[in-house]
Structures are given as C-alpha cells and as structure tokens.
Amino acid sequence: MKSAVIYSSKTGFTQKYAEWISQELGADLFPMDKFDRSMIDNYDTIIYGGGLYAAGINGIRFIKINFSRLRSKKLIIFASGSTPWRENAVNKVKNKNFTPEEQAHLKFFYLRGGLNMTKMGMFDRFLMKLLRASILSKGKKRELTPDEKGMLAAMDNPVDFTSKDNIKDLVAYARE
Ligand SMILES: Cc1cc2nc3c(=O)[nH]c(=O)nc-3n(C[C@H](O)[C@H](O)[C@H](O)COP(=O)(O)O)c2cc1C
C-alpha cells in the first residue's frame, strides 16, 4: 500500500500534521505545488490536508477536479482550523466542501490547528482585523462567547493547539 500525504498550509499548522501523518505511515509527503494529477496513480491511498478559511478547505479544488481519478483510491481529507472540534461545525465543513457523492467516497477528519497572525499574509491579517472589530462591537451589546473571547486572545498572541494525539484516528483508518 503506497500512500501520499499532500498539503496546503499558510501558517504551518496543517504542514505539521501532514509531516506527523507521513512519518507515522511511512508515506510520501508533498506540498500541494509539488504534486500533480499525473502522480495520483502512483498511490493507493491519497491523504490531503488544508487549513480552514471561512469553512473552506484551502486547496480542496485539486481534489474536486480530480475526483474521478481519486474515486478508486482510499481518499482521506483533513482540515486544520482554530476552533475546537464540534460535531455540527465539522458537518458544516463537510457539507460546504463536498457533495454527498464525494462524501461517500472519502473520509474526513478535523484536526485542530491554531492561529498565528504573525505568519499570515496581508490579506488574511486584514480579514482578522475586520473580525476583531466585529467581535468587539458584539461585546458592547452582550457577553462574548468563550470562542469569541478565545479568538480575540489568539489575535494578540499566537496559539497552537496541534497535538500528535489528534492524528491517531486518521492514521488508524489509513492503516485499515
Ligand atoms: C481569514 C481566515 C479565516 C479563517 N476561518 C476559519 C474557519 O472558518 N474555521 C476555523 O476553525 N478556523 C479558521 N481560521 C483559522 C485557520 O483555519 C487556522 O489558523 C489553521 O490552523 C491554519 O492552517 P494553516 O496554517 O495550515 O493554513 C481562519 C483564519 C483566517 C486567517
């Protein structure tokens, strides 16, 4: 069984998970820009990971446009986001990114990443500033939720929730 782990990572959280997963499985590791569709057939298992941006999985287009080739493979997708794992939020991400047919052919995992504004590009930092302003204005009208408070704190100091423990279920499924 030959496996490839492919990832798109803007600030390093997804990359860390991709590295851990590839080490654990003895799989080949590729940043998205070093992998192309002609390489798909070299592998039995394809694992793709991307950061979550407004609930969209970074780089997922590659999987979607090559879905017919990937259909015969064991296909595992993971996303890293800053919010804690919650079933309804994870289902929302699945439904936003994949059709029911695609969902039937892949297994999705959410691995909590972190938030690091110091590594973001200008545009993402700008979006974070808008989000901060919106949370602060909500805070004038009501008590902020723990997630909102956590988000504000993470904007001032980078937070990293990655843990090697989080990859256990994905690795076990890949080995099945
Ligand atoms: C503009 C923007 C939007 C984001 N949207 C989400 C989101 O919808 N859900 C979430 O959990 N995290 C969200 N995040 C946080 C990232 O998903 C998180 O930092 C992730 O671990 C980044 O992974 P990467 O560094 O590998 O790209 C967002 C971050 C930015 C900058």
Give pLDDT, residue 1: 78
What digits encode the pLDDT tens for the residues 56-111?
999 999 999 999 999 999 999 999 999 998 899 899 999 999 999 999 999 999 99
Give pLDDT, residue 115: 95
Give pLDDT, residue 38: 95
Give pLDDT, residue 20: 98
Q: Does 76 share its domain with 95?
A: yes
Position 45 pLDDT exceeds 90: yes
What CATH number is given to the structural domain containing 95? 3.40.50.360
CB distance 47 to ligand 1 below 6 Å: no
Mean pLDDT of 125-152: 93
Mean pLDDT of 46-63: 97
Q: Does 85 share its domain with 139?
A: no
Q: Does 38 share its domain with 90?
A: yes
The number of distinct structural domains making up the chain is 2
Q: Does 8 share its domain with 44?
A: yes
Q: Does 135 share its domain with 106?
A: no
- Tell me the C-alpha distance between 149 and 22, whole Å: 34
Q: Does 23 share its domain with 74?
A: yes
CB 55 within 8 A of CB 26: no
CB atoms under 10 Å from CB of 132, counted, come to 15
CB 97 within 8 A of CB 56: yes
Residue of the nearest CA to atom 22 in ligand 1? 51
N- to C-terminal Cα separation, the chain: 11
CB distance 155 to ligand 1 below 6 Å: no
What digits encode the pLDDT tens for the residues 1-36?
799 999 999 999 999 999 999 999 999 999 999 999
Q: Does 94 share its domain with 167?
A: yes
CB distance 8 to ligand 1 below 6 Å: no
Q: Does 135 share its domain with 163?
A: no
Closest ligand 1 atom, residue 15 Cα: 26
Q: Does 133 share its domain with 145?
A: yes
Coil vs helix vs strand at 108: strand
Structural domain span for residue 152: 117-157
Distance 82 CA to ligand 1 centre (A): 6
| Residue from 52, 118, 148 to probe ligand 1 pocket by mutation (most atoms less than 8 Å from CB) | 52
Give pLDDT, residue 66: 96
Q: Does 146 share its domain with 163?
A: no
Q: Does 91 share its domain with 167?
A: yes
Residue 104's Cα: distance from chain center in Å? 19
Give pLDDT, residue 147: 87
